[in-house]
Amino acid sequence: MPGSRQGTRLTRCLRCLRQHYRTEFARIEARCKSRKGTNGVATRFSAPANLSFAAMVAVNFGLVSWAQRLSMKIRMLRASMAIRTLFALCLFAATFNHARAILQHGVLWDYGYGSKIALTSQIYWALLTILDPLAAVLLFVKPRTGIWLTVAIIVSDVIHNTYYVATNDQWLAPFYLAQVAFLVIVLGLAPVAARAAASRPQAPV
């Protein structure tokens, strides 16, 4: 995978730079020891040489710091993609269920609650047939928008359905347990996915 290859190259780069630092500092230490005078005090390098070496070290450490941040961002982006893919699969599964219900029972089906169901609830469930796939697509087109739309959908869905679950004593109904489980997953992983989606690897300037 591209992210894996990039991570491998960055790791090799960091190892090479660390080895370079160790070699360079060992060389300087050896030169200092070899230039010690009779009084045991090491002679100083020239100012231009000191400045040149300091600049080289600063640039190299800057590159290492950037490489580490880039590697972390790549890992975060991969995690975000995995999380958003999980969300999208669940949303498409919900879309399939709502679409099947509409095809079999009509747009404003009462989902077996009969006269207990409110018209607004029927409209809400019908709208989920549109909102669920929209959020799934936005998870990849506009990740942050898709993530927070997913949060809004599942939070409102569980709150809405809890009323009917409580009224009909359906606390252990499979559909409700699945929705609550998805709610917990979304609330736990959405902030992680959103932070990663907001970051983009950039080259140093």
pLDDT digits (tens, 9 = 90+) for 134-159: 999 999 999 999 999 999 999 999 99
Token output for 18 = 């660390």
Q: What is the pLDDT of residues 94-109, one digit of tens each?
A: 999 999 999 999 999 9
Q: Is the pLDDT of residue 176 over 50?
A: yes
| Number of neighbouring beta carbons within 10 Å of residue 99 | 14
pLDDT bracket for residue 76 (50, 70, 90): confident
pLDDT of residue 196: 83
Q: Is the pLDDT of residue 25 over 50?
A: yes
DSSP string, 42-106: BPPPPHHHHHHHHHHHHHHHHHHHHHHHHHHHHHHHHHHHHHHHHHHHHHHHHHHHHHHHHHHH-
Residue written as tokens 């409580």?
Answer: 166
- Asked whether 201 and 73 are in contact (CB, 8 A), the reply is yes
Residue 125: which H helix or E strand, with range? helix 119-141
**118: helix, strand or coil:** coil
Token output for 76 = 């975060």
Q: Letter for the amino acid at 164?
A: Y
Q: CA 96, CA 119: separation in Å to the nearest integer? A: 22
Angle at CA 57, nearest 5°, toward 55 and 63?
105
Q: CA 132, CA 98: separation in Å to the nearest integer? A: 9
- Give me the chain's average pLDDT, please: 80
pLDDT of residue 84: 96
Q: What percent of the chain has pLDDT over 90?
A: 53
pLDDT of residue 201: 46
Question: Is 0.75 topped by the overall pTM?
Answer: no
pLDDT of residue 73: 73
pLDDT bracket for residue 64 (50, 70, 90): low
Token output for 91 = 């949303």
Q: CA 140, CA 81: separation in Å to the nearest integer? A: 8
Q: CA 71, CA 26: separation in Å to the nearest integer? A: 28
Q: Is the pLDDT of residue 53 over 90?
A: no
- Asked whether 161 and 179 are in contact (CB, 8 A), the reply is yes
